[in-house]
Amino acid sequence: MAQTISAAASPEKRLFISLITRDISLSDAILDIIDNSINAALEPIASRLKTADDYQNVLADPKLKAKVTIDVTIGSARIVVRDTAPGISADVAAKHVFKFGREDSGENKNDRLSVYGIGLKRAMFKCGNRITIKSDHAEGGFDLSLDVKRWQDIRVDPWTFDITTRPPVKTGTGTQIVITELYDDVVARISDGLFINHLRDLITRTYSFFIDRIVIIKVNDVVINSELFEIGDNYASHKFAYDGVSCNITAGIAVVKGDTFRDKNAGWYIFCNGRTVLFADKTSLTGWGAGLPIYQPKHRPFFGTVFFVSTDPEALPWTTTKSSINEESAVWQEASRHMTTVGRVITAFLDRRYSEDGTEIAPRELQSVAGTPVRMLTAAIAVQRAFRPPAAISSKTKTISYSAQMADIKRIANHLRRPSMSGSDVGRFTFQHYLKNEVGSDE
């Protein structure tokens, strides 16, 4: 007689750790820890952050000043991230923070940057073997001391971390994460002289909406400044809502930096709950070479933003590493079509802006078409509006210029029995010949 027996299907810790850390870079792992701190810093105002407009209104408020400092210290011996946010209570730590994956119970309704409930653990596991966390909270915090290798060898289900409680505090809340016994590849990456600057640049771009308004971020004692993006006020924008996600799309002409538009700033910027997921993207992911033309240097002034917001961060189209877009997400598919509609009026204008002889219109002249510079935040909360391209200057003639093989020009001239005919005359003759015999008269 057939029996029903239970087949083992629980994950191996070693494989699990390898799987969750393999596809994330060291810098993205550090951003995951910073996400946790910003998520905590946003908690007091989370109830005011429900739509894209809410975010932008709150974050554009000039009176809003950062109350939380996030201090990141990176060395070859240890990585320390310390914040002055409200901290994590022992109760929340025991029930939620160390669970692998978010619960479906709606318990975390104030989370904005914490998505899958995996980022913090993945970041810790990525960097080193010894992890200590100390968190002070108004209701009582906790301490954690973890030796990852030893924890890996404990074969008890369900998986747990041992934490000890800390007394409640009225002031001086916050969380400190210290990772030591760093892995060799992590040490090698940190030793690369470019790494810290790369990380600072990444933090600047990733948290440009939060820096100075919600948090102050320091990396190895250097305060990170936000990058102030501006766009001309002659821009196109559109808003829509889809499955609990609100989305504002804006495209226009960037404000010139110095004498030229910078290639590294051109393209689409995608934000999920205020966090930048893609910077200056010029790939087919954001429609270049699909709904929009293939990106070319003449599109350098293009500046587009897509601002997704949801009170359920899992509904947003970001990947688990928050460094790219889940292309299968239905809201992304819908947004990408709107991006085509909004963006192509700008690319079409940029495509047309070459004068007859192919000379680019000077960036400063282009700026006059773009209009008065406004902060990207202001643009992104504007009501739906249309880009107003300048009236086309109608010209009756156009210069055509191309190169041809000398031998071919000579052959045509000889064929016409006018061997001394110049190259430009051959060009004019062949053009007229084609017009008359192939195209026919228009009249």
Partner 1 sequence: MKASTAKHIAYNLRPSKQAERRILVDLLKCANEAGVTISDCRYVGMGGSLFYDFHLIHRFLGVKKMVSLERSPEMYRRSVFNCPYDFIKVKNTTVAEFIAADLDKTRTIYWLDYDDGIGPDITADIISLGTRLRPGGFAFVTVYAEPPGFLEKETPEGRLDYFVNNLGEFSAGLTKDNMENSEFSTTIHGILMSAFSSAFSARRDGRFRPLFQVQYKDSTTMITVGGCFCGQKPGSKVERRIKKDLPFLMSKTLPYKIKHLNLTEKERALFDIAVTRALSSSKQSNQLRELGFKDKDFEFYRELIRFLPRYYESII
User: Is residue 228 part of the contact set for partner 1 (CB under 8 A)?
Assistant: no
Residue bearing tokens 């293009």: 302
Helices first, then strands: H and E counts in the chain: 13, 15
Q: How far is the CB of 383 from partner 1 (least distance, A)?
A: 9
- Report the distance separating Cα 316 and Cα 42, nearest Å: 17
Query: What is the pattern of x (binds partner 1, CB under 8 A) and - over residues 292-311?
Result: xxx-----------------
Q: How far is the CB of 92 from partner 1 (least distance, A)?
A: 35
User: Is residue 241 part of the contact set for partner 1 (CB under 8 A)?
Assistant: no
The DSSP annotation for 393-441 comes to: ---S---------HHHHHHHHHHTT-TT--HHHHHHHHHHHHIIIII--
Q: How far is the CB of 287 from partner 1 (least distance, A)?
A: 9
User: Is residue 289 part of the contact set for partner 1 (CB under 8 A)?
Assistant: yes
Cβ distance to partner 1 smaller for residue 46 or 345? 345
Cβ distance to partner 1 smaller for residue 82 or 344? 344
Query: What is the pattern of x (binds partner 1, CB under 8 A) and - over residues 341-380?
Result: xx-xx--x--------------------------------
Torsion of CA 254, 260, 264, 270, to 10 degrees: 0
User: Is residue 440 part of the contact set for partner 1 (CB under 8 A)?
Assistant: yes
Q: How far is the CB of 398 from partner 1 (least distance, A)?
A: 14
Which tokens belong to 417? Answer: 């029995």
The DSSP annotation for 114-139 comes to: --SS-HHHHHHHHHEEEEEEEEE-TT
Q: How far is the CB of 358 from partner 1 (least distance, A)?
A: 20
Binder of partner 1 out of 165, 284, 321, 430 (CB under 8 A): 284
Binder of partner 1 out of 330, 362, 404, 435 (CB under 8 A): 330
- Report the distance separating Cα 122 and Cα 67, nearest Å: 27
User: Is residue 437 part of the contact set for partner 1 (CB under 8 A)?
Assistant: no
Cα dist. 118→113, 144, 162, 354 in Å? Answer: 12, 17, 18, 50
Binder of partner 1 out of 242, 295, 303, 308 (CB under 8 A): 242
The DSSP annotation for 300-316 comes to: TTEEEEEEEE-SSGGGS
Query: What is the pattern of x (binds partner 1, CB under 8 A) and - over residues 9-38?
Result: ------------------------------
User: Is residue 328 part of the contact set for partner 1 (CB under 8 A)?
Assistant: no
Q: Where are any strands of DSSP class E within 46-141?
A: 68-74, 79-83, 128-136
**Residues at the interface with partner 1 (CB under 8 A):** 236, 238, 242-243, 284, 289-294, 330-331, 333-334, 337-338, 340-342, 344-345, 348, 384, 386-387, 389, 392, 394, 438-440, 442
